[in-house]
Amino acid sequence: MQGEPGGAALRRTSGTPTPRSGFAHGAAEVASSAEAVAVAAAFVEEGLRQGDLPVLGCPPESAEAVRRALGTRVGPVEDDARICLVGVRAPDAFVVVRRLLERARGTGSGRLRILAEPQWGADRRRWREVQRYESAANALMTGTPVTAMCLYDRERLPAEVLAGARQTHPELVADGVRAASPDFRRPERYLRDLGVAREPVEAGEPVFAVDAAPTLPALRGALRQVLAEEVPDEDQCADLHLAVSEVAANAFRHGRQPVSARVWADGDALVCAISDSGHTFDDPLAGFLPAHGDDLGAGGMGLWLARKLWDSVDLLAGEHGLTVRLSTTLVTPRSWAGVA
């Protein structure tokens, strides 16, 4: 979204009106960078008129293009690219939104207005995580005074991504017209059906495998050793082990033994699967927020830490129990520059 504004801005024509209570989540399909800027500026202006706190959740170059379009009309508009998963994963993005919402509640209408430009990149694995984030927001932010609109460039993005937008947003904006999305799917169903993005490394033999791990400390120790051998960056190794240890603890404390584990690694990617024999837990929304809210001392942080520290977390309920599958891209100490 780098062009200057051109063409008509967002038109308030027939279609589903933007609600002023609860969470409103829409996707705007645009045909060019110029149209994206025009739609974004109109959306922000609407919020300013209504006393909302607008936030540009997009990369700096896109935020600057929107500000140029607003010109002297601009009011108190915030920037935070973390909303569109720049430098963070989904749990931290939700923390950012919550903090911005607290600020919005003390001013104007008390409503937060988010203009987001999801960052997809070329990696299909990232597409899946962005789609997961977009869908989960509909459940986790229900009832919050937030109006969010996400920009999708239909000339640039693949059909798979555009189809996902229609399934993860209750409202669509196309050619300036707002309407309910006929393809929208409830998050619980969408997330369960999203499927697992298998890594090529999983086609080979695991570098570590244990069935019926005798104790939790034994499993944690074995995982520490294999991660130390396979993860070159010490900080990433520590983070990954912290999270996988908590997942293993969940398996022993809340699942049913025997507990098994598998690790695959090839120098570029790492996959770890922890399985127990229980059948009592299957919540695709688990881990996006701490299980017990702000009271981190109350426990329930295993899946939350996993989603914060690994690129992808899948909960796979099968005939013989539950598997938590974690995967991430490995970095070298010299290439580490934060989470992309």
H, E, C per residue of 257-313? CCCEEEEEECCCEEEEEEEECCCCCCCCCCCCCCCCCCCHHHCCCHHHHHHHHCCEE
- Within 10 A of 295 (CB to CB), how many other CB atoms are there? 10
Q: Looking at 152, 177, 193, which one is the last position of a domain?
A: 193
Whether 99 is in a domain gets the answer yes
- Indicate which CATH number applies to the domain containing 305: 3.30.565.10
Confidence at residue 71, expressed as pLDDT on a 0 to 100 scale: 87
Residue 57 lies in a domain: yes
Tell me if 76 is assigned to some domain: yes
pLDDT of residue 1: 66
| pLDDT, block means (10 residues), the chain with 340 residues | 45 45 93 94 94 96 94 82 95 96 91 96 89 97 96 94 97 88 96 87 97 96 98 97 96 91 96 87 86 54 93 87 94 55
Does residue 51 sit in the same domain as residue 158? yes
Give the domain-ending residue among 137, 168, 193.
193
Residues 137 and 45 in one domain: yes
The answer to whether residue 340 is domain-embedded is: no
Residues 181 and 42 in one domain: yes
Closest CA to 278 of 265, 259, 262, 295: 259
Q: Angle 171-187-114 (CA atoms, 0-180°, nearest 5)?
A: 45
Integer Cα distance of 116 and 93 in angstroms:
12
pLDDT value at position 74?
64
148 & 74 share domain: yes
Beta 260-265 vs 269-276: how paired, if at all? antiparallel
Same domain, 118 and 155: yes
* β-strand partners of 314: 325
Is the domain of 205 the same as that of 253? yes
Residue 332, pLDDT score: 77
The two tokens of residue 262 are 């598998």
Residue 152 shares a structural domain with residue 256: no
State the pLDDT at residue 336: 44
Extract the runs of DSSP E, i.e. beta strands, from the chain.
24-30, 53-57, 78-79, 112-116, 146-153, 171-174, 177-180, 208-210, 260-265, 269-276, 312-318, 321-329
- Looking at the structure of the chain, the number of domains it has is 2
Same structural domain, 226 and 133: no
Residue 226 lies in a domain: yes
Residue 230: which domain range? 200-329
> Tell me, what CATH number does 105's domain have?
3.40.50.300
Q: 138 and 28, same structural domain?
A: yes
Is-contact 164 213, C-beta < 8 A?
Answer: no
Q: 125, 158, 193 — which closes off a domain?
A: 193
